[in-house]
């Protein structure tokens, strides 16, 4: 099969990239667009390391054929903050010690952001549900859940 041009909005900017029909979104993001914050973990949609937000929903980009992103809005960890101005979730993860090795962190933050974008004051159960597809092998989830809760509160207060 021949390559084709994929057109979509990536982190707020119109993007075009040549893809093969067999390319998965995670591979396009990492290998063709050099956005390596999205991690490739299991490749089976089970670990959540590759989580991005597509059209407002947290998705495992290792399970999304790249062409499914045609015309979509995709947000990656690189699009939610900058070194000069971190997103409140990024700050809260650091402040709460919710980061150890960091491999799962981008996916966790993107899952949390998708939740907070929809629900300004998520309950503990809603946070747990939103993060249920993200595996952290280094730490328990207590600090991660607190980081999400604290960030949601900070975002609400700054509206």
My answer on whether 70 and 92 are in the same domain is no
Contact between 109 and 37 under an 8 Å Cβ cutoff? The reply is no
Mean pLDDT calculated for residue range 64-79:
98
The CATH number of the domain where 142 resides is what? 1.10.150.120
Contact between 94 and 31 under an 8 Å Cβ cutoff? The reply is no
Residue spans of beta strands (DSSP E) within 3-120: 4-10, 13-19, 51-54, 57-60, 73-75
Given this model, what pLDDT does residue 109 score? 98
My answer on whether 59 and 103 are in the same domain is no
Indicate if the pLDDT at residue 127 is higher than 90. yes
Q: Looking at 22, 57, 79, which one is the last position of a domain?
A: 79
My answer on whether 54 and 117 are in the same domain is no
Given this model, what pLDDT does residue 141 score? 92
How many CB atoms within 10 Å of residue 64? 20
pLDDT band at residue 159 under the 50/70/90 scheme: confident
> Going by C-beta distance under 8 Å and a sequence separation of 6 or more, which residues neighbour residue 100?
136, 138, 139
pLDDT band at residue 3 under the 50/70/90 scheme: very high
My answer on whether 14 and 37 are in the same domain is yes
Indicate if the pLDDT at residue 1 is higher than 70. no
Range(s) of the domain holding residue 138? 88-157
Q: What is the pTM of this model?
A: 0.96
My answer on whether 97 and 65 are in the same domain is no
Indicate if the pLDDT at residue 36 is higher than 90. yes
Residue 6: in which H helix or E strand, if any? strand 4-10
Given this model, what pLDDT does residue 139 score? 77
Q: How many domains are contained in the chain?
A: 2
């Amino acid at each position: 099969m021949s390559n084709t041009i994929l057109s979509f909005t990536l982190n707020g900017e119109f993007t075009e990239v040549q893809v093969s029909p067999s390319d998965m979104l995670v591979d396009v993001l990492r290998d063709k667009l050099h956005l390596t914050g999205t991690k490739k973990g299991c490749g089976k949609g089970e670990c959540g390391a590759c989580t991005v937000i597509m059209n407002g929903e947290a998705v495992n980009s290792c399970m999304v054929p790249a062409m499914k992103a045609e015309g979509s809005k995709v947000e990656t960890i690189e699009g939610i903050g900058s070194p000069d101005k971190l997103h409140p979730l990024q700050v809260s993860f650091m402040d709460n010690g919710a980061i150890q090795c960091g491999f799962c962190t981008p996916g966790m933050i993107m899952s949390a952001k998708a939740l907070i974008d929809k629900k300004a004051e998520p309950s503990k159960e809603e946070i747990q549900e939103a993060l249920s597809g993200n595996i952290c092998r280094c730490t328990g989830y207590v600090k991660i859940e607190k980081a999400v809760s604290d960030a949601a509160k900070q975002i609400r207060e700054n509206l």
